Structure 1
Amino acid sequence: MSSQESLEEKFNKLLFDTNKCSNAANWKVLGQEQDGFVLSWESKDGMLKDSHTRVGFVDLEYKNLKILHNFGEKRCLVQATVNKNKSLIGYTVKTGNDLYEIFLTSVHERKENRISSSPTQAAIQFLHRTKDPVFTTDDIKLKEKFLVFMHQQNITLNQVELSKTANDKWFQSSSISSDIIVRQFSWAQWDPHLQSLFYVSVKATPSRLMQGEEDEFERVPRPPQPSLSCLQFHDDLPHETVLNIPLNLPEGTAPPVGLPGPENQYCENPVPLKIHDNTLELSIICNSKGLAYVCHHYIYYGKEGDVEIDEDDCVNFAYSVTALHHCCVIECVISDVPANLAYNVLPTFVLHGEQHLLVFASDLFTHLLDVGSAHEPCNHVIISPPLTLPLYPSPLNNAPVKLGALMLDLSSLEMFTVKVTKSQLSMSFRFDHSCQNRIAILHQLLQHYHDYETVSDLMKWLVKSESRNLTTAKLIQELLVGTAYANATRNIPNDALPLISILPLTTASKQPRAGVVWLQQKELWNTAMTLLSPQQRLVPYRADTWTRLWDAAHSKPSERFSPSHVADKLMLSLLCYQPEALSRSSTPLSPGAGICSISSALPDLVRSSREGGKENFNSQLPFQESETCTASKQEYVVAVNLRELSMHLLKGATQGPRPIFCPSPMHVHAVATRFVGAQLEASRQVCRLLAACAGVEVQKHGDKGFLLIDQLDENRRKALFIMMERFLYCAEALAFPVPQGFTSFFAYLGYRTLPWPHFLQYTRRHVFELHVDAIKAIFGDMTEKRLGVSYKVGLLQLLPRTRARRILNQWGHPISYMYRAREHALLLLSGESANRDHRQVTQRRNISSRGIAAFPSADRLSPLDTFLDLLTAKASLTELDIPLLVEATITSTEDFLI
């Protein structure tokens, strides 16, 4: 609860400003209209000993209180309504024998007209016009319409005519006409802002044919099917049915026999105005943007037949939210709830901002459902511990706040804002170990709260307290995808905004969550059939809530781009990837710059993405972003992502189940380029964050790269290696490019952290990529003794031929001469050209004093002479590197391994 306001104090102040009266008591909210609330209170006038009931109206826009009627006695009002010009009052009185009586009173005539009475719950509600009527004659008459509800009986649409006198007073000039519009309803709700009536009725279903015993078909009646309908009212046009949904209510939702309390107990809460008993708990939430939620609460106990339930027994407390604009149903079951608690707690459904629905029962559960129109629902958060609020707060869904939920406690007249804060999300992250819930929390912080500092703190806490948690990799994947989406959608051109719905958003799955709180999501079949299409409306194609809802339910969004699809292709193509054999690639990245190199275009793209705000996960990478290979693997991954994403955007925008529009190649290329650049920037940010989680920060250590690794202690190096290994796994699983310089840094870190057999195993499985700079650092750290030389030779055998030859040329050890000479002779004998590398001369020992004379014989024919004769028969003297062969021969006779 973030803020709280006492309406009683506010009403007293408004009443004192209006009537200079301050002795009011027992304030009560009787109803809600489009522009304010209908109130009642008790006060005394003059010398009267007994207080009497008054009715007034609080205008929320102008913040004033208008006194409408004084009864002169105490009245038990349970509900009231006023027309738009505040000249008529309709109210419901509950008598001592639980009889509901409905009255209509003119403000100026002070005369009560009893409309109806009912032993079941009843209410009255005025219809409000969108536009004020225009009067052209002196005899000004006004027709007012109002609804009368009588539970389990009917709903009538009534009309009365008002005339205006010379002193600007309105009085009733005709009798009330009535027309039944709904019969035998079990539940009804009125939406004052949309001027819509929702109700549940039982409709007979057609019988079905079944084959009998003698091959004769007979008609078998079907049980009646309850359905939810909506009537939309207009100023001058008849009302129309815009929604008709069959309700598939779970079995066993009625209160079981054995618990105390009447079976048809009514709840006297006029905000929002609902007419029903406790056999059906339903709430409808709609807004003008085309969002519609059908919220149903029920209890089932998993026992067959009519079984008596004791207060100490446990039942299943459940609810469902049908998001019509998403064509899906979200179901939740809280198991093992004491029956006494379950039957005395009602869940509250209220809009939390524009993109969330907050569902909570005080001290039992609090759920933040991500069901807005921004993207498809999947990241629902379970808040732990649950909120503690008044028992029966009334949601004010028609007045949503920017980030929070507005509630009204009718018993204490306290209006408060419920807000799921960042601290509550952080506490839930630490309290709940569910991987899906933690992914949903990261999604909320990244996409909706844009709080990267809290994300950084949570990841540091996770690494420190749960270092061996196997779900950390999935959280890192959510960080990569979520950060890339947030960066890419920051400054998208308006013409390309529809393409955002196809970009990767999250790694969360829609699979059911198991446990005490069981949450699942189901798709509905063709929700658009339950709505009235725009061409079938009274005024065809006039935009309102229901046409927007029909558009959202009728069209299914295209499938989002999956990074795993690119990862599967890279698994095959990278087998043939040889960096030393490729030249630097060129790929178009800028829409207006033509063809440019990725290495030069990406820094500009990343720099432009940072201009929208401060850099996320602000710290420096623990290595230099540079590579010495001729063709960077990062460029290759970026090029594949760019190609695949561009094709997916083009197909999804024009050929998918929901064609967005016909985009130009510039739109597709701009969005694809921005997202690929955001992928690289997200990779850099997450890499920095994970290094900080391991306790490695460049600002504290000063050095980067290999020098930084050498300065770390053993525990710090191990922690850093674990985080970098998880980062590499997640990046490869999602086909995200890693920063330049990471592969060499990670390889050297593995060399300094792992035992030598494990390091070789990682290298053989291509986890470590041994570039020239990493090999030089490793060779420099090893000794030139027998074991060190053996390790170096083992590494050289794992390298590609071109890279191994390059390292051998720079290794000044005698064994390198032997390997180079053998390769030189092999090339000559196989008939391939083997031009001499004159850079090798400076690395050899001085052998001019010995030469071939080192191998004397009687006939001057040594084994070396014979071998040289064999080589000269295969190649010319210009291709023969005699000094290298001689040096290798001399070295083979020496014991150079100590």
Structure 2
Amino acid sequence: MALRLVAHFDVRADVLPSLVAQAATAAEAGDTGVLETAYESLRVLNIERNGNIIYTYKDNKGNSVFGLYDCQTRQNEHLYTFEKDMQAVSCSVNSERTLLAASFVQYTKEGVRSEFHPGSKCLTLLVEIHPVDSVKVLKAVDSCIWVQFLYPHAESHHLQNHLLLISEEKYIERFNIQITREDGNRAVIRNSSHLPKDRIAEDFAWAQWDMSEQRLYYIELEKSKSVLRCIQFWPDESFTLMFEMPLDISLSGLRFKFVNFGYDYHQDQEKLCNQPSLCVFTNHTGSLCVCYSPKFDSGEEITYSVFYLHKGYRKTFTSAPGSAGSHVTKGITFLNLGYLVAVYFPGHFLHLLNIQHPDLICHSLFLTGNNKMAAVLPPSPLQSLPGSLILDCSSGKVYRATLDQSYLLWFLWNAAHLDCEKMAALHCALSCGQDPGFQEDQIIQWVCEHVSGCHSFDLIQEFLIASSYWSVYPELVDVDMLLPHSSVLTWNEEIPGIMLVTEELPLLLMKVYSLTGYWAKLNSNLEYVKYTKPHLHYHNSVVRREWHNLISEEKTGKRRSTMYVRNILDNAIKVISNMEIRTLEPRLIPLLQEEDRHQRLLIGLMVSELRDHLVRHLQGVEKKKIEQTTLDYISKLLNLIWCMLETIWRKHSVHPWVLHLNNRGSAADFEVFHLMTRILDASNNLCFPLPPGFHSLHMILGVHCLPLYNLLHYIDNGVLLLTETAVTMLMKDLDNSEKNEKLKFSIIVRLPPLIGQKVCRFWDHPMSSNIISRNHVAQLLKNYKKEPRNSMIGKSSFPTEFLPLNYFIETLTGLESSHQALCDFEGQDNVDAEFVEEAALKHTMALLGL
């Protein structure tokens, strides 16, 4: 199953042990049957903003008992006992645990409410519980009432409390309750006979409570239109209408429904499953999604829509129930998983929708019953809560839902056959990067073994971009608009089993101008969609142009400002140091050990450009944090390439002698060479840097694996680069056999002049001596001006009497004797006029065949 449920709370496992102790005490007093009655009636009523869970059960006398489970201390606390046989519908306690509000109905055996209060079917009470004192009747009406205390955004001891009452008669009121302290710490309601109240909303068809952020969403029907509104309750006790948004949805047939206001265990679940399903999901990144599924009959196509209000469009998905032919008994369940929304249709499919980047359907994973995903979530009704929590309403268990890395990896290896499945599963797996036990090494292994298995996109490019993105995403949530998350910009292929229709929506208009927190982020997302064209995602076009200019200037002898180039190279040093700090285990492949000036320039340029891009658009973020994020992003990119090489190296057990050129290549060497070629192609297209030393290793493997013609073809087309390290090794390790001489000569004639001058000295061969001599003479005569000479050449001073050569050698000797020339050619060991003369004679004799 793509989802993994971790038990967060179990009403029986976490509450019953404390009731066992009570039962033991009651048994000593001659009171039996407490535990049996409690076990049968124990159920969860509400979860408060601070995570505390309110539950209820019946004692052996039929009294309604309310308790609280503190999720921090993991202790249970008795709140109140109503000494009447009443059925609790809803309950809430204030943050100080001094007041408790509860609503009750009474059911007959036929499930119909019977009157237990004159003229009423539902009784709503407010109780002082610190200590237990008076009970006030808030409502005694025919319609059902739900209650919810508002919680401040921080622990406080305010004497003002606010209680929401949500009525089945389609109105919501807020009661303002003043508390006074008497006799030390005793909490008493002030003026309990007349509590002031505000009418928050009325004539609505649907409402949802966000306990974590203290928001109320509700829908009103206006002229056959469904208008979604949101009210934010603030810490200063005020509340504000934040937005209104018309939604093109049908709520006909929808029974009056509340979401996250507790759970009515006596509702007919089979009828509820045939009703439209609707919920609102948000997260801290500023996303706002409305998930909707109309009612459907068994056997019909299943349709559900997601309104991405933070993006300005709606996506409607249609899927057949499946080929299993099973009867549809449950409706669609929407689950909020943070960056994802899960659409779950029991026994048929699970759709993991990427709400952070919903533009392309290929970034959302669609799993059918054939993928072994249908039987893991509980079959009972589920209620999605903030923080990726899920309440199993029947069993009273609360789970924390996360993506199952093991399943996703299994799916990649065994079941992902289509490109869209590989893409979506890869993104889902990489989004787990911050989870404990993240198995990045297995993802890298899968990528290495499937580089040629994707036809719609480049797997290496996608992996490098997506993994680097997710590695820094938790550090700066705003980077979702500034850094690319995928290499794919368009997707035109269909997803088997599902049809998609996308519709543009008018952008959400905020009712408030001074925004903070989540609302500021949501507004930033809306502004981004409205005004940003093209998108602000970072790309390396400027880096590519500047890098090519620097390399071109080096070749032509032009020089930039020394300080400018030094700063770029210093940036590269910072990235490499950052990599070395994070590298805990020794590596098999010796990268980062050579200069590789061109790659260091590219690394440094990318640091400079990416840092400037983030600083330009991340207002209010410390530059030091941006600097570190930039280094982490590029370090991650380089480290991924290194890890890919290490993975394929280990898999094929490549022998260390591959780093020397005096051995023949093997099939394992070719596998590494092939992967490196694919990595090089991907990085070139993206203009991403490679770890210094990559090109030298690639060249060495090319010599091992390719025949000379193919090797030279790769070199001439820029696939293999002639680095000084690789060519020096080639000159030293290979002997002067006919085959190797041909290879060396082919390499030398392709070398840039600066590298050629250095490496020819390592080849003890007439041809290399000839090249060295030519370069030496060219440098000596570069600024030579002929002057009249009166001296006569002594024949006895030269081993060969050939006047042109004698005169030429004497001229070189004179130039070498100058101090300037000695400075210019310092380090050219054993290269002088005598060396030139000897090389000239050998070359002449070779030409004459002597």
With the length of structure 1 as denominator, give the TM-score of the two structures: 0.68
Cα pair distance change 1:571/1:110, threshold 3 Å: closer
Q: Secondary structure at the match of 2:722?
A: coil
- The one-letter amino acid paired with 2:617 is G
In structure 1, stretches of 5+ residues that fail to align are 46-51, 136-141, 205-223, 255-262, 301-308, 536-540, 589-594, 654-659, 837-846, 853-864
CA deviations over 1:149-187 (Å, ceiling 9, x no partner): 23xxx3254879999999999899869999976555332
Cα pair distance change 1:687/1:227, threshold 3 Å: same
Work out whether 1:2 is the aligned partner of 2:6: yes
The offset of 1:344, in angstroms, is 3.0
- The one-letter amino acid paired with 1:390 is P
Q: Secondary structure at the match of 1:2?
A: strand
Cα pair distance change 1:70/1:635, threshold 3 Å: same
* 1:185 corresponds to: 204
Determine if contact 1:381/1:440 at 8 Å carries over to the other structure. no
* 1:64 corresponds to: 77
Work out whether 1:155 is the aligned partner of 2:171: yes
The offset of 1:92, in angstroms, is 3.9
The offset of 1:813, in angstroms, is 4.0
The offset of 1:764, in angstroms, is 0.8
- The one-letter amino acid paired with 1:428 is F
Which residue of 719, 726, 731 corresponds with 1:767?
Answer: 719
Cα pair distance change 1:27/1:544, threshold 3 Å: farther
Distance 1:739 1:782 in 2: 26
Work out whether 1:754 is the aligned partner of 2:706: yes
* 2:403 corresponds to: 420
Of 794-803 and 269-278, the range deviating more from structure 2: 269-278
In structure 2, stretches of 5+ residues that fail to align are 27-33, 115-119, 128-132, 787-796, 816-832
Report 1:525-604 matches (<5 A). Answer: 527-529=507-509, 531-534=510-513, 549-550=522-523, 553=526, 560=536, 562-566=538-542, 568-569=544-545, 572-573=548-549, 576=552, 578=554, 581=557, 602-603=572-573
Of 635-644 and 287-296, the range deviating more from structure 2: 287-296
Determine if contact 1:489/1:500 at 8 Å carries over to the other structure. yes
Report 1:796-875 matches (<5 A). Answer: 796-804=748-756, 811-814=763-766, 852=802
Which residue of 660, 685, 689 corresponds with 2:644?
Answer: 689
Cα pair distance change 1:53/1:390, threshold 3 Å: farther
Of 332-341 and 637-646, the range deviating more from structure 2: 332-341
With the length of structure 2 as denominator, give the TM-score of the two structures: 0.71
- The one-letter amino acid paired with 1:295 is C
Which residue of 200, 220, 224 corresponds with 1:201?
Answer: 220
* 1:210 corresponds to: none
Q: Secondary structure at the match of 1:798?
A: coil
Q: Secondary structure at the match of 2:495?
A: coil
Distance 1:733 1:489 in 2: 24
* 2:683 corresponds to: 731
Q: Secondary structure at the match of 1:691?
A: helix
Cα pair distance change 1:65/1:553, threshold 3 Å: farther
Determine if contact 2:448/2:644 at 8 Å carries over to the other structure. no
Q: Secondary structure at the match of 2:242?
A: strand
Of 238-247 and 782-791, the range deviating more from structure 2: 782-791
Determine if contact 2:321/2:348 at 8 Å carries over to the other structure. no
Determine if contact 1:102/1:114 at 8 Å carries over to the other structure. no
Determine if contact 1:316/1:333 at 8 Å carries over to the other structure. yes
Cα pair distance change 1:546/1:148, threshold 3 Å: farther
Cα pair distance change 1:193/1:805, threshold 3 Å: closer
Distance 1:180 1:680 in 2: 56
Of 315-324 and 717-726, the range deviating more from structure 2: 315-324
- The one-letter amino acid paired with 1:3 is A
Cα pair distance change 1:534/1:99, threshold 3 Å: farther
Work out whether 1:607 is the aligned partner of 2:607: no
CA deviations over 1:476-521 (Å, ceiling 9, x no partner): 335544665677799x9xxxx7986776363354655741365989
* 2:659 corresponds to: 706
- The one-letter amino acid paired with 2:686 is L
Report 1:68-79 matches (<5 A). Answer: 68-72=81-85, 77=87, 79=89
The offset of 1:266, in angstroms, is 8.0
* 1:211 corresponds to: none
CA deviations over 1:587-621 (Å, ceiling 9, x no partner): 57xxxxxx95766774465335654xx52675242
Aligned residues: 760
* 2:496 corresponds to: 516
* 1:506 corresponds to: 485
Work out whether 1:429 is the aligned partner of 2:412: yes
* 1:717 corresponds to: 669
The offset of 1:766, in angstroms, is 1.2
Determine if contact 1:481/1:507 at 8 Å carries over to the other structure. yes
Distance 1:731 1:267 in 2: 53
Q: Secondary structure at the match of 1:79?
A: strand
Determine if contact 2:465/2:485 at 8 Å carries over to the other structure. yes
Cα pair distance change 1:372/1:482, threshold 3 Å: closer
Q: Secondary structure at the match of 2:334?
A: strand
- The one-letter amino acid paired with 1:418 is A
Determine if contact 1:477/1:730 at 8 Å carries over to the other structure. yes
* 1:392 corresponds to: 380
Q: Secondary structure at the match of 2:669?
A: helix
Distance 2:430 2:121 in 1: 50
Work out whether 1:22 is the aligned partner of 2:35: yes
* 1:648 corresponds to: 613
Cα pair distance change 1:523/1:437, threshold 3 Å: same
* 2:448 corresponds to: 463
Work out whether 1:440 is the aligned partner of 2:427: yes
The offset of 1:237, in angstroms, is 7.1
Determine if contact 2:403/2:432 at 8 Å carries over to the other structure. no
Of 758-767 and 421-430, the range deviating more from structure 2: 421-430
Report 1:268-307 matches (<5 A). Answer: 272=262, 278-285=274-281, 292-298=288-294
Report 1:663-682 matches (<5 A). Answer: 667=623, 671=626, 675=630, 679=634, 682=637
Distance 1:43 1:162 in 2: 32
Distance 2:601 2:162 in 1: 73
Distance 2:499 2:763 in 1: 62
CA deviations over 1:242-297 (Å, ceiling 9, x no partner): 331111238xx98xxxxxxxx66788997546999644211124579976442223
Determine if contact 2:333/2:345 at 8 Å carries over to the other structure. yes
CA deviations over 1:868-890 (Å, ceiling 9, x no partner): 89x99xx9997997665554333
Cα pair distance change 1:149/1:194, threshold 3 Å: farther
- The one-letter amino acid paired with 2:171 is I
Q: Secondary structure at the match of 2:650?
A: coil
Of 80-89 and 170-179, the range deviating more from structure 2: 170-179
Cα pair distance change 1:523/1:126, threshold 3 Å: same
Percent of paired sites with the same residue: 15
The offset of 1:782, in angstroms, is 6.0
- The one-letter amino acid paired with 2:241 is T
Distance 1:366 1:617 in 2: 39
Report 1:32-111 matches (<5 A). Answer: 32=46, 34=48, 39-45=55-61, 52=62, 54=64, 56-58=66-68, 60=70, 63-72=76-85, 77=87, 79-81=89-91, 84=94, 86=99, 89-93=102-106, 96=110, 102-104=121-123, 106=125
Work out whether 1:322 is the aligned partner of 2:277: no
